[in-house]
Amino acid sequence: MPLVKIDSTVTLSEEVRKSRLVSLSRATAETLGKPEQYVMVTFGHAAALMSGKGGEAAFVDVRSIGGLNSEVNRKLSQKICQLLQEVLGISPERVYLNFTDVKGVNWGWNGDTFG
């Protein structure tokens, strides 16, 4: 049920993408206290302009049914920004993150919903 969707100006090789997705999946599950079997992480390429400038940047959309709060969001923000800086060279000030707590009735899976 947690989803971390990253859109970045940086293009990754398949090998690097897979290893980073694993790291992000684990970090998300641990920070939210959710089973990793329900975590989804996606990484896409996007054209982006930030602060009126091109260059490396990322938008991260984090959604979950419960588990999000000010403390968890800060921890996730730190972990995700650190990973993006280490792997992609994207400075944390070039990353926007959006956190959305979704009601279970609005999240579908396996032909049903969580609510």
What residues act catalytically?
2
In angstroms, the CA 102 to CA 88 distance is 29
DSSP structure class, residue 1: -
The dihedral built from the CA positions of residue 7, 8, 14 and 16, taken in this order, carries a sign that is: negative
Structure tokens at 24: 């992000």
| H-type alpha helices, the chain | 14-32, 70-88
In angstroms, the CA 90 to CA 107 distance is 31
